[in-house]
A = this chain, B = another copy of it.
């Protein structure tokens, strides 16, 4: 499961969090697998398929240390999908896991975290391993069986024996809150 050269997940940049007492960070979650799902509340495929799948994931892996995180990545109809509307949406759809409002960036329709991960649209999902590396990233909703299988693999993987020094290096690369694989790749995204 530890795949050398697998890219470290970049950090989440959020302007606001729901369902979380304090902001979360992937850095602080190192050691636990994370299922990160990107959605927009007016995206029909998100509402019809992705959110129900997330609710099943929340329920089925409730007794594990999987961390489910939603990312509200608004890249269209910005005025229509405000945090006020998102709060009511989360209430109505009974999503219990933390949801970050992806940070808007001046001069771009694409919010920061969405750009960092190179997400192609919504719904998208990213499975992040205990070591912080991206195990799988997908645009669209995938088969429940495959999703369940991948999460189980991520859960069963042991935290790799990475020396603290290595972790520090990673932190260094996240100095500004982003954990880019390489600056050049980042620019190309």
**B92 and A60 within 8 A (CB):** no
Q: Which residues of B contact A47 (CB under 8 A)?
A: 47-48
Smallest CB separation, A147 vs chain B (Å): 6
Contact mask for chain A residues 12-56; partner B; CB cutoff 8 A; 1 contact, 0 none: 000000000000000000000000000001111001100001001
Q: Which of A78-86, A103-111, A113-121, A178-186 contacts B (4 or more CB under 8 A)?
A: A78-86
Bound-state Cα–Cα, A68 to B22, Å: 46
**B145 and A88 within 8 A (CB):** no
Of B57, B92, B143, B144, which one neighbours A44 at CB under 8 angstroms?
Answer: B92
**A87 and B80 within 8 A (CB):** yes
Interface residues on A, range: 35 or more
If A144-B145, A149-B151 are given as contacts, then 17 extra A-B residue pairs at C-beta distance below 8 Å, sorted by A number, are A42-B85, A42-B88, A43-B92, A44-B92, A44-B93, A47-B47, A60-B145, A60-B146, A60-B149, A61-B149, A77-B91, A77-B92, A80-B88, A144-B144, A144-B148, A145-B145, A146-B148
Which 3 pairs of residues, A with B, have the shortest CB-CB distance? Answer: A148-B148, A144-B144, A80-B88
Residue in chain B with minimal CB distance to A154:
B152
Of B88, B145, B152, B153, which one neighbours A77 at CB under 8 angstroms?
Answer: B88
Q: Which residues of B contact A57 (CB under 8 A)?
A: 145
Q: A81-B88, A84-B79, A85-B85 are in contact. Are A152 and B143 (CB under 8 A)?
A: no
Instruction: Tell me the A132-149 residues at the B interface (CB within 8 Å).
Output: 143-149
Q: A79-B84, A80-B84, A85-B81 are in contact. Are A60 and B152 (CB under 8 A)?
A: no
**B42 and A145 within 8 A (CB):** no
Can you identify 17 A-B contacts, CB atoms within 8 angstroms?
A41-B42, A42-B89, A44-B93, A48-B48, A60-B143, A77-B92, A79-B84, A80-B84, A80-B89, A81-B85, A85-B85, A145-B145, A146-B148, A148-B148, A150-B152, A152-B153, A156-B156
